[in-house]
Amino acid sequence: MGDDRRSFSYYKAIPVIEKLPFKIESGDQVKNLPAIGKSLRDHINEIVTTGKLSKLEHFENDEKVRAVSLFGEVWGVGPATALKLYDKGHRTLDDLQKDDSLTYAQRTGLKFFDDIRQRIPRHEVSEMEKLLQEVGKDILPGVTIVCGGSYRRGKSSCGDMDIVITHDDGKRYTSKHVKPGFLPKFVQRLKDINFLREDLIFSINSIEGTDSGVDTYFGLCTYPGRELRHRIDLKVYPRNRYASGLLAWTGNDVLNRRLRILAESKGYVLDDTGLYLATQSSGGKRAGRSEAIVNCHEEKDVFDTLGFPYLEPHERNL
């Protein structure tokens, strides 16, 4: 119960700290802020003074924390599953190999664990992005295919490839979806040339002629001529939802959290499928998102609507 309370305290404090317009150099700077208690101020002072947190080092040396953290790095294994695997007596990745409860996706993530952890050089991501664009345009002329994530933010290497896809259908701001048949054809063509190798998730939710649903493929790919596996995600958005999708999949996580918190404070709900008006519960509290989507054709429209200064992709490494 104590750990749960502490976790909740940190959860509440994170957005408060993220909104600060200055660099924290002392716990005294945040002593009057909501959700920042004495214990957290002491932690801040220790980090500022020593560059580390002794309590965290203690956790990192704990066998349970190490094992659960390791299992959580396997693709498809979340915190609850990682804890269950530990409770079964597993302590290493070799132990997991013998566990029959793992799904196909989890077993695939385990098999290529070392491959997936290797970062991809920027020039290789650039070449693979061009390959994807060529294959996509051969199937559907005019399709837009962009690699987001740390690559779009200008980093020298990437942990995986986040590919965001849409199509204008001859009209710059059409709300209609890319034809639902595109992603299956795209995936199959990429398999035919031995680029896509293993499937993890494949979900078709779009309805042709509407702005409904986002099509998703998660899998493993290889740079041409190699066997080293890399993680790749393909997300296909209707054109009127593409800006929010591209923004979310470009990141970084800190910026995404800031924008979503800001959206909530202004009566909106922001996620990768769009910027929506928030709904109100009977008590006056926001209950969720409505079906009313704000027209944001470009990423800048999202920033402008929220009153947040526009950041170019390379400026989003917050």
Catalytic residues: 43
In sequence order, the 6+-apart residues with CB closer than 8 A to the CB of 70 are: 92, 93
Contact between residue 165 and residue 245 where contact means Cβ atoms under 8 Å apart:
no
Beta bridge partners of 288: 279
How crowded is residue 11: how many other Cβ atoms within 10 Å of its Cβ? 10
CA angle 34, 37, 38 (to 5 degrees): 150
Let me know: does 48 contact 25? Beta carbons within 8 Å: yes
Q: Counting every residue, how long is the chain?
A: 318
301, 307, 296: which is closest to 263 by C-alpha?
Answer: 307
CA distances from 65 to 51, 83, 270, 294, 298 (A): 22, 9, 33, 43, 42
Q: What would the two tokens of residue 21 be?
A: 């317009």
Residues 267, 286: Cα–Cα separation, whole Å = 8
φ, ψ for residue 64, nearest 5 deg: -65, -45
- Burial category of 255 from C-beta neighbours within 10 Å (exposed 0-12, middle 13-18, buried 19 and up): buried
Which backbone phi and psi does 107 adopt, to 5 degrees?
A: -65, -35
